[in-house]
Structure 1
């Protein structure tokens, strides 16, 4: 068992931070003798001198400098531990696990996470990026608390969040981009399509695949974008996600006769609202607010 107490370490750090025993006593609201006693007791317990006192101001010994960094970490960890315990006492969860489909707008997600973290600074957030049915599979297996997924959740709560617009794109140098005609689905099928792999181990969905003669399947949208930019194939991608590539002509929207764009609906899903803690509820509330603001801007 440790012989030094947290209170003794706190007095030691207070003396360093305040610049003296008298100043520290005012900060911690204890008598100067109490602060002196705590530090002296700490030195006796450790068997090392923490301060050199030249009569005018205190100065840390080399041992004191080394132990100060450790003491600072120890006190911060103790503070975090108490905060977590306080949160648990008042029903605040210590961890929030969220599965989010890759097509969800990242800027909105990041803004919401930042707001929730500011309100619950000791909340640990685990974000799992998923594709197609992957988010709901994680929810079903109990690996996450919330899911944002392109499919409704059959065994719990489902709320429609937003629609994501997809367009068919290819490199400007790709043969599909250089045909001087309006394209059909049949035209697309004769070229390689880049498809994002369903991240669920149980349910594999080929949403968006046109039955092209050649198909490359990848795990991340960024991989798909890089392949398309290099002219290796075409793909259906979220329009918002590739705006900068369309504007600088790195990617080109394919001129389809029908179905030049498609929409996918994203849903917020969870098992039981009664089991959600304050941080999860705050995340949901902020998510709804940010999406509502986006909808107002776009309309």
Structure 2
């Protein structure tokens, strides 16, 4: 029996769900809307089931449609992995290299590496993503990326190859003029409890989520990235620790002030990590370059490591 569920139909279904409309899916897939409608109608007809509930103003997936989509995405992922493996086997260079940058870093040093890489291998597509806390390890463990730059803390699972980039230094920061700035230093933890703590949500999908730098205040404001955390603290919405290298401009412009606590937060080791069995030439090139570098805790860049 030949299944009516084709890869093209699954890609169409996936695009509709992600873009929230047939028209937007058509734009993404470079097709006319009528072609998108025909593909879905034909699939429903061949399966003998309704994938979308059209009784409402906006078509929504039925329970069966959701099932086909979720299982179909696994098929699409497996197909993409098989295609990539076949092409990698041909010449060793990846068609696509997926690099995850932890939210604790900014991407400027990574852009420099990508620019240098494309001078020698312009045909490899680089796909950047951002994760938070354990989300970097989760992305590597789940196969969503080939290389992680800036993963902090110890890996929650075994089997990754690691290279330490150095330490990130954290500073307790508040908006200029905050009531805490009027108190004598160093501050005890008890006085911080009167103010909301801004924390970054862990982006892990499968590995256990973890928290970083929690101050156990009475209320919390949860944001998706370090960038959002900086913005929230600049506006005085809350307090908390921030990476020193990410707030140099905010300090220079007088938008943030640093405070000293009785118990400061220790520096955090950050790593480059990758799957040991990945033999791609592009991945190897990035690893070789990163092994020559150290993280600058003050400026946030990657500098040449000092030879012993």
| TM tier relative to shorter chain | 0.5 to 0.7
- The C-alpha deviation readout for 1:77-101, integer Å capped at 9, x for no partner, is xxxxxxxx99863211111011121
Report the equivalent of 2:231: 226
Q: Is the 8 A contact 1:174 1:233 kept in 2?
A: no
Alignment of 1:279-294 (within 5 A): 279-291=282-294, 294=303
Alignment of 1:137-176 (within 5 A): 137-148=138-149, 149-150=151-152, 151-152=154-155, 153-176=157-180
Report the equivalent of 1:186: 190
Q: Is the 8 A contact 1:194 1:235 kept in 2?
A: yes
C-alpha distance in structure 1 between counterparts of 2:237 and 2:278, whole Å: 47
Report the equivalent of 1:265: 269
C-alpha distance in structure 2 between counterparts of 1:184 and 1:242, whole Å: 23
Q: CA RMSD in A?
A: 2.2
CA 1:90–1:257: 2 relative to 1, 3 Å: same
C-alpha distance in structure 2 between counterparts of 1:263 and 1:243, whole Å: 17
CA 1:95–1:180: 2 relative to 1, 3 Å: same
**Uncovered stretches (5+) of structure 1, i.e. residues with no partner:** 1-84
Structure whose CA Rg is larger: 1
Task: Compare the two structures and name the one with the higher helix fraction.
Answer: 1
Query: What is the total number of aligned residue pairs between the two structures?
Result: 211
Query: How far is the alpha carbon of 1:158 from its aligned partner?
Result: 2.3
**Uncovered stretches (5+) of structure 2, i.e. residues with no partner:** 1-85, 296-301
Query: 3-state DSSP class of the match of 1:294?
Result: strand
Alignment of 1:216-255 (within 5 A): 216-255=221-260
CA 1:275–1:222: 2 relative to 1, 3 Å: closer
Query: How far is the alpha carbon of 1:255 from its aligned partner?
Result: 2.4
Q: Is the 8 A contact 1:88 1:94 kept in 2?
A: no
Report the equivalent of 1:99: 100
Query: How far is the alpha carbon of 1:264 from its aligned partner?
Result: 1.1
Q: Is the 8 A contact 1:172 1:178 kept in 2?
A: no
Report the equivalent of 1:256: 261
